[in-house]
Structure 1
């Protein structure tokens, strides 16, 4: 969902269409708006979609819309049929980049149909570079996990960054900076390895501009040429949506940008350094987590002792990180649970308050047990970090290796290579830990860090302005108060840039996108927008979370907001 700039573990998915289904390609031309192939839908395999009303299909696209000789790709699609009188199609992208649209729609089709009034077919897809069904699909640079582990053995890539507090201990700083030369070499070698791998030849055709054109071509096939296109993009999907309105302003129908990645920032700044701008609400979301735990009490949150305040629950978590940090530095070999691994495991778990109880009562206690066993044994023998690290590296293919799908898309879209090196990236991490997010700025690795050494860019990137656009319809922008992946400030920046072409709504919650917590208010606004284009007139509109949504038993978002530390950020 991440940017979905965040890694997501996704099980392999499989599609079996009824025999005889084929794609009829009427003609292949470079123009996105030319006659498109027909899509024939069939019932999805039950292993893919538990809802028998969902349909699946394939759609052929040119790898390069400006050079037909490059060849043809194939997109895997899924559709939820309109439940009322059909008015057209709404396309859905759940973010990542790299999250499966097929798997996402399988999970939330009823929610999206209800939110949009049931008058639109909801179509999602695995974009080029994503999954095992779309061609080209997931990007790989290693043939196996063993190959991956051997390559990264002894580097920060596997065990994360060791630091405490606000990264002010000079010994921690010196230790990290001493690893910059080796990390720089490894990242450069990774880029060449990816180029030389079997997927290397298609890396330049995996990118957001091409995916925009794919969506326009799908709209042509489903709703006819030249019509308005409806789209709901979440997280990275908002960058796809922003590029769509920039490339095809006259085709903008109902467009919802939910959890915004600021396209101006992404299009002008070095990705490896701009990442810090996305962390401005991370510690506030973390504050929400430990405050909710304290309100839940020890009977419902195992991280809390009886009667502990939010600050004391935070101290418990910091003590765990300190113990893992100290043992890792004292050990004479690989460590299974480092403080870096704990931070990198926690960060995506903070995205959704509905999972905070599991983080507090299952995930962190297991990590704490691992640290206690290490300290108690006084030995670092064991997994070398792999059993834990795999949980946050991302989805795995049938061949059980590590994909670089997110990096391929994100870096392929990025600004041209600069002189930025890993030393500058490390320095920025230290500064960001000290000034923006002490809790998660040091979480390593992250996809944007690869962009300073990624050797290829997409053959087409949108590099225009988002100012002074004349859109066929106004856009709905939604941001959460404390979103740890795409801060509300990004949604505000994009809305200000679009001017009267957009309206913004703030969902007063923690977490990432409107999927973070249910809100009847958001639902009403989306349905009104989808029905007749109605948008709130006031750009200070705030929606609250439904009061029956509980993070822990008896603990609501409203109660957590009311009990945040006094220095928590406000809007």
Structure 2
């Protein structure tokens, strides 16, 4: 669910007023018996701007939806959608969402269909979309495009007894960011909650002329799936929920402790892996030595940033170790090069991860998270919670605290969170989760399984990668393929555990080949997803 860094997406600054909102000019929608507005016309498909989408023959368009779903005939905004048509025996449409909140899903039809083997992926029309406020949807939110420009203040407070120094600087910049969000985005900022997107998803279904959808949700996208299945149970044909968010995700609660504990565990495993490859990286021969070296470098950068990299930027880059094991060689190699005086790799990584110059994902993340459920507006309480958590988990607490810090000062009030009710749906649902997934801990998947009696849970035992489905584990891929082919799932087991298990993939092996490449060359094809989906957002790690 959350990344400590935002990712660049194509966005625009939206201001109040119908013209500036880029409202749809199609006739007013009419509401059906469920109160959902029916789009007045089918999607007008045309060429896509994305090279990845045009390369596979996809087409793109927009779906007009109400800005305010309580006023279905009112002002419209536009949801950007993409489609890659089925080329085998067609089984309908399959919507996909990569997570966030704030993640762009428009390009996913260029990636996922061929990951489902035996031609099964080609049996669906894959539908990507940018949720409202995100990417190519109109308008796309933005608050302060310079917010991630490094070096920024250190994350950890210099003095826990009072707000001073770097902490005071973070409070000031966070308040300024929240105010900029109010100033720059107008009315849409009040309509970026999860239930708005759930209703938009059903509007996409209607615009496609379909009675039902198939759905693949990753991370926060699993919550959208849960909410959609609860709201429109008769509209679901098949649903895959990969790396699960708990059914009660929205709002300030206990979820963050499990996430931060997970990141602490994964960091320890990552440092041990670096030590096991000391010949390649020369960063220490034991996990303890590598850990000590990491925090020593962090302390040095806190005192004296190097170029655009300070301690905050360093932490943001290395948090990615908790998202994808496949990137461990890339991260370790960047660190090893840093120690030789070559800083270009780390600077490149931070620029890619943070999306310097475009805060669309970060703005959308906060706009949804801060308003989906109850959020305290008491900074002192939130600070004290983080102090307590950081005493146990050093690696990720304070970075996560500041990533969701704008919620303490957010200009839009929270709403009643979406209600997830798994008793309403009768079709089988496939759940996937790595047992050591940090952003979405395995306990979340067990809770989703309990909530949805028709669901079956496949565990990736010992895996630490976020987004385990169709990501190189042949065992997991086989379950997804069987399900998408004909709805086949293993029997639901007795008890509260997983229903079937897959052995994890081996940890990656480092390669010195990366050393001779330009800063960005190593990156192509190495990430398991487009990078804005690798950072699939953890919901507020300082929650207690």
**TM exceeding 0.5:** yes
Counterpart of 1:567 in structure 2 is: none
Instruction: Say whether the 8 Å CA contact 1:394–1:403 is kept in structure 2.
Output: no
Q: Does 1:317 align with 2:320?
A: no
Instruction: Say whether the 8 Å CA contact 1:59–1:77 is kept in structure 2.
Output: yes
After the TM superposition, which residues 538-549 of structure 1 pair with which residues of structure 2 at under 5 Å, given as runs?
538=493, 539-546=498-505
Instruction: Say whether the 8 Å CA contact 1:474–1:502 is kept in structure 2.
Output: yes
TM-aligned CA deviation for residue 406 of structure 1: 1.5
Cα 1:158/1:401, change in 2 over 3 Å: farther
Counterpart of 1:361 in structure 2 is: 333
SS of match in other structure, 2:408: coil
- Which string of whole-angstrom CA distances, capped at 9 and with x for unpartnered residues, describes residues 240-288 of structure 1? 1121122122322211111112131x23x416x7433322311222223
Cα 1:243/1:443, change in 2 over 3 Å: same
Q: Which has the larger Rg?
A: 1
Instruction: Say whether the 8 Å CA contact 1:249–1:471 is kept in structure 2.
Output: yes
Cα 1:314/1:188, change in 2 over 3 Å: closer
2:460 pairs with one of 501, 504, 507: 507
SS of match in other structure, 2:83: strand
Instruction: Say whether the 8 Å CA contact 2:153–2:170 is kept in structure 1.
Output: no
2:138 pairs with one of 135, 138, 160: 135
TM-aligned CA deviation for residue 194 of structure 1: 1.9
Instruction: Say whether the 8 Å CA contact 1:478–1:504 is kept in structure 2.
Output: yes
Counterpart of 1:522 in structure 2 is: 476
Counterpart of 1:564 in structure 2 is: none
Counterpart of 2:390 in structure 1 is: 433
Instruction: Say whether the 8 Å CA contact 1:5–1:235 is kept in structure 2.
Output: no
Counterpart of 2:540 in structure 1 is: none
- Which string of whole-angstrom CA distances, capped at 9 and with x for unpartnered residues, describes residues 53-105 of structure 1? 22222221121222135411111111222231001011000112222112343
- Larger relative contact order (CA 8 Å, sep ≥ 6): 2
CA distance in 2, matches of 1:245, 1:80: 24
SS of match in other structure, 2:90: coil
Counterpart of 1:234 in structure 2 is: 218
- Which string of whole-angstrom CA distances, capped at 9 and with x for unpartnered residues, describes residues 408-447 of structure 1? 12223232x43532x3222222222222x32112225654
Counterpart of 2:8 in structure 1 is: 10
Counterpart of 2:230 in structure 1 is: 246
Once superposed, what is the RMSD of the aligned Cα atoms?
3.6
Cα 1:204/1:24, change in 2 over 3 Å: closer
Instruction: Say whether the 8 Å CA contact 1:246–1:466 is kept in structure 2.
Output: yes
Q: Does 1:480 align with 2:434?
A: yes
Counterpart of 1:219 in structure 2 is: 205
Equivalenced residue count is 491
Instruction: Say whether the 8 Å CA contact 1:270–1:418 is kept in structure 2.
Output: yes
Instruction: Say whether the 8 Å CA contact 2:433–2:459 is kept in structure 1.
Output: yes
Cα 1:470/1:11, change in 2 over 3 Å: closer
TM-aligned CA deviation for residue 48 of structure 1: 5.2
TM-aligned CA deviation for residue 523 of structure 1: 1.2
- Which string of whole-angstrom CA distances, capped at 9 and with x for unpartnered residues, describes residues 334-373 of structure 1? 98543333212210243111111110002x2455567999
Cα 1:394/1:113, change in 2 over 3 Å: farther
After the TM superposition, which residues 273-284 of structure 1 pair with which residues of structure 2 at under 5 Å, given as runs?
274-284=255-265
Cα 1:551/1:207, change in 2 over 3 Å: farther
Cα 1:553/1:402, change in 2 over 3 Å: closer
CA distance in 1, matches of 2:470, 2:487: 24
1:81 pairs with one of 69, 80, 85: 85
CA distance in 2, matches of 1:274, 1:546: 27
TM-aligned CA deviation for residue 9 of structure 1: 2.6
User: TM-score, normalised to structure 2's length?
Assistant: 0.79
Instruction: Say whether the 8 Å CA contact 1:320–1:368 is kept in structure 2.
Output: no
Cα 1:200/1:442, change in 2 over 3 Å: same
SS of match in other structure, 2:5: coil
Counterpart of 2:508 in structure 1 is: 550
TM-aligned CA deviation for residue 522 of structure 1: 0.9
Counterpart of 1:494 in structure 2 is: 448
2:181 pairs with one of 171, 175, 194: 194
SS of match in other structure, 1:127: coil
CA distance in 2, matches of 1:444, 1:43: 39
CA distance in 1, matches of 2:192, 2:138: 10
Counterpart of 1:466 in structure 2 is: 421
Instruction: Say whether the 8 Å CA contact 1:246–1:465 is kept in structure 2.
Output: yes
User: TM-score, normalised to structure 1's length?
Assistant: 0.76
TM-aligned CA deviation for residue 485 of structure 1: 1.0
Counterpart of 1:67 in structure 2 is: 71
Q: What residue ranges of structure 2 are gaps of 5+ in the alignment?
A: 13-23, 513-544
Cα 1:368/1:492, change in 2 over 3 Å: farther
Q: Does 1:270 align with 2:224?
A: no
Counterpart of 1:352 in structure 2 is: 324
Cα 1:42/1:510, change in 2 over 3 Å: same
